[in-house]
Amino acid sequence: MEEASPIVNEDAAAAASTTQLGTYKTTVELVETAAEEILLLWALQQPTARRQNAFVRHSSQTLALDACGHRLTILQSPSSMSTPGVTGAVMWDSGIVLGKFLEHAFDSGTLSLHGKRVVELGAGCGLVGCIAALLGADVILTDLPDRLKLLKKNVDVNVGEGNKRGSARVTELEWGDDLDDEFFDPVPDIVLGSDVVYSEGAVEDLLTTLKQISGCHTTIFVAGELRNDAVLEYFLEGAMKEFLVGRIDQGQWHPDYCSDRVAIYVLAKK
Ligand SMILES: C[S@@+](CC[C@H](N)C(=O)[O-])C[C@H]1O[C@@H](n2cnc3c(N)ncnc32)[C@H](O)[C@@H]1O
């Protein structure tokens, strides 16, 4: 069923200011206010009327994806999804979109990953971090303690010796907790998160970690599934207190991996 479009100020959309943020070498649309961003996104993309899980299958034990000249095999654990609170045992569309965006940006010369220090938050099955490592970055993939076993398996399978360009390792990081020194020495060049904005309760802790982990030269990429406008607005409001936030237009994504149910933001400290 078609959704009714919210009324949107076309002039506001047209007048959105653009800028370059962090080390991402292309201009992005600067988010001026969280409320206006939500209105624009939901009017222009009508996300909840679009097909969910276009690139993933949650009932499958594996997900195959070609990236960086390799066929990646991501192991999933569909049965774990019935455990309350477990969300990262399968892949989500925004992870596929963000991973393929990184590859596309790298190939287009708009994002350099070679030798960069990267941290992925809420890595789940780990596809995004694995792609960053295959593009030459030294990546720490992080998640809650009970999520690390599957994550480690996926890193071993996909960033093993044969495939190696950068490096990848897995460690625990619970948002909101004090961070170990390993995350500051040196400060990450890039922080990644896909589908990590999904409940108001988690947003506060996620923002605390984003603020702690990033320095003035850190570029953050967050890909969000557009399920809940209130949660995204809450995240953007909080993020904009500390960061400049830009939305990356779909024209800059991998052309085969675009979805109106997903938005990609780039953040850099003010
Ligand atoms: C919806 S899943 C997304 C997984 C993966 N990034 C993807 O796109 O497929 C959210 C991830 O965030 C992790 N997560 C949730 N709350 C967390 C917290 N407080 N600290 C660290 N990770 C958390 C979950 O374990 C899960 O892996």
27 domain-assigned = yes
CA–centroid distance, residue 240 to ligand 1 (Å): 22
| Per-residue pLDDT, 249 | 95
What is the pTM (predicted TM-score) of this model?
A: 0.94
Stretch 3-23: mean pLDDT, rounded?
Answer: 65
| Per-residue pLDDT, 251 | 96
95 C-beta closer than 6 A to ligand 1: yes
From the CA of 124, give the closest atom in ligand 1: 27
Is the predicted pLDDT of residue 10 greater than 80, yes or no? no
Point out the least confidently predicted range of 8-17, 178-187, 211-220.
8-17
| Per-residue pLDDT, 71 | 95
Q: Based on the structure, what is the number of domains in the chain? A: 1
223 domain-assigned = yes
42 domain-assigned = yes
| Per-residue pLDDT, 82 | 86
| Per-residue pLDDT, 163 | 65
List, for residues 185-218, the tens digit of each pLDDT value.
Answer: 899 999 999 999 988 889 999 999 999 999 999 9
| Per-residue pLDDT, 3 | 45
228 domain-assigned = yes
93 C-beta closer than 6 A to ligand 1: no
2 domain-assigned = no
CA–centroid distance, residue 156 to ligand 1 (Å): 20
Full domain range(s) for residue 91: 10-269
What would the two tokens of residue 184 be?
A: 């500051």
Number of neighbours of residue 13 by Cβ within 10 angstroms: 14
First-to-last C-alpha distance (Å) of the chain: 42
143 C-beta closer than 6 A to ligand 1: yes
83 domain-assigned = yes
Is the predicted pLDDT of residue 14 greater than 80, yes or no? no
Q: What's the mean pLDDT when you consider all of the chain?
A: 92
3 domain-assigned = no
Which residue lies with its CA nearest to atom 13 of ligand 1? 122
Is the predicted pLDDT of residue 253 greater than 80, yes or no? yes
Whether the CB-CB separation of 183 and 177 falls below 8 Å is answered with no
From the CA of 198, give the closest atom in ligand 1: 1
| Per-residue pLDDT, 141 | 98
Point out the least confidently predicted range of 7-16, 117-126, 232-241.
7-16
Stretch 164-184: mean pLDDT, rounded?
Answer: 93
By 3-state DSSP, what share of the chain in percent is helix, strand and coil, each rounded to 5?
Answer: 35, 25, 40
Contact partners, residue 206, CB within 8 Å, separation at least 6? 121, 122, 175, 176, 193, 196, 197, 235
CA–centroid distance, residue 54 to ligand 1 (Å): 20
| Per-residue pLDDT, 7 | 45
Provide the CATH number for the domain around residue 264.
Answer: 3.40.50.150
pLDDT class of 236 with cuts at 50, 70, 90: very high
209 C-beta closer than 6 A to ligand 1: no
198 C-beta closer than 6 A to ligand 1: yes
132 domain-assigned = yes
List, for residues 47-104, the tens digit of each pLDDT value.
Answer: 988 888 999 999 999 999 999 999 999 999 998 888 888 888 999 999 999 999 999 9
